[in-house]
Chains A and B, each alone.
Chain A
């Protein structure tokens, strides 16, 4: 079975600074997807960034980037120039291939990030 571990239950960062959220996973699969989702106080789950395991290049979406270390099974999220709107719970998630087969999407327990003005 796949597991996703987020070892930082809570983090804080000063506005405009950079913060890195950690995520590790355990799998015997070679092909899979990894995701970071954001859940702001509204509790709407929003996809932040996605990484395909067969791609060595780290995914980037504006101020959000990942450090994907496949051998170490690590998938950290870096938020640059933190903004107050980044305050949210962040979930790391793993999906093994083939996708969309029901229960093969695994979430971590989340990291609560607070951006301090």
Chain B
């Protein structure tokens, strides 16, 4: 069966420090991968998505970046965090477009607090 792992679960970082959040998927090949951010009490905002290794699409201009160095690995990064980067970050995956679509499967999320 497929599983998605996201870490760390909680992170407190000072303003100006770098960031690296990691997400890996097991049990599938060539998944579509996504990074979402959720501010407190708000909906989900798509940040990045990837349909293949090295292929990254950005939805929101900001000081965050994403990379996909391996087929099932998706990394969210920042060189210098801002206070406004605080939030809950969710990684998700979906299978390649063959057969019925059963929605996204989400990781357990990372709660990031920038202080």
- Are A and B bound to each other? yes
Q: Are B101 and A95 in contact (CB under 8 A)?
A: yes
List B contacts of A91 (CB < 8 A): 43-44
Set B101, B108, B109: member contacting A100, Cβ < 8 A: B101
Q: Is B69 an interface residue (CB 8 A)?
A: no
Given A98-B97, A102-B57, A50 and B103 contact (CB-CB distance below 8 Å): yes
Specify which chain B residues have a CB less than 8 angstroms from the CB of A50 in the assembled complex.
Answer: 102-103
Is the pair B42, A43 in contact by a Cβ cutoff of 8 Å? no
Of A11-19, A61-69, A70-78, A106-114, the one with at least 4 CB within 8 A of chain B: A106-114
Report the minimal beta-carbon distance from B68 to chain A, rounded to whole angstroms: 13
| B82: interface (CB < 8 Å) | no
List of B residues within 8 angstroms of A42 by Cβ:
108
Closest to A89 in B: B41
A90 → chain B, closest Cβ, in Å? 11
Verify A99–B106 contact, CB threshold 8 A: no
Sorting the interface of chain B by its residue count into under 10, 10 to 19, 20 to 34 or 35 or more gives 20 to 34
The reply to whether A47 and B90 contact each other, CB–CB distance below 8 Å, is no
Partner of B59, one of A47, A103, A109: A103
B96 within 8 A of A: yes
Size bracket of the A interface: 20 to 34
Q: Does A25 contact B (CB under 8 A)?
A: no
- Residue among B34, B43, B96 making CB contact with A109, cutoff 8 Å: B43
- A116 at interface, CB cutoff 8 A: no
Residues of B43-102 whose CB lies within 8 A of A: 43-44, 46, 49, 51, 57, 59, 88, 90, 92, 94-97, 100-102
B32 on interface, CB distance cutoff 8 Å: yes
Residues of B within 8 A of A98 (CB): 97
Interface residue ranges of B9-35 to A (CB < 8 Å): 32, 34
CB contact between B46 and one of A37, A43, A103 (< 8 Å): that residue: A103
The 22 listed contacts between A and B (C-beta, < 8 Å) are A33-B103, A44-B109, A45-B104, A45-B106, A50-B103, A91-B43, A95-B101, A95-B103, A99-B97, A100-B32, A100-B96, A101-B97, A102-B57, A103-B46, A103-B49, A103-B57, A105-B104, A107-B43, A107-B44, A109-B42, A109-B43, A110-B43
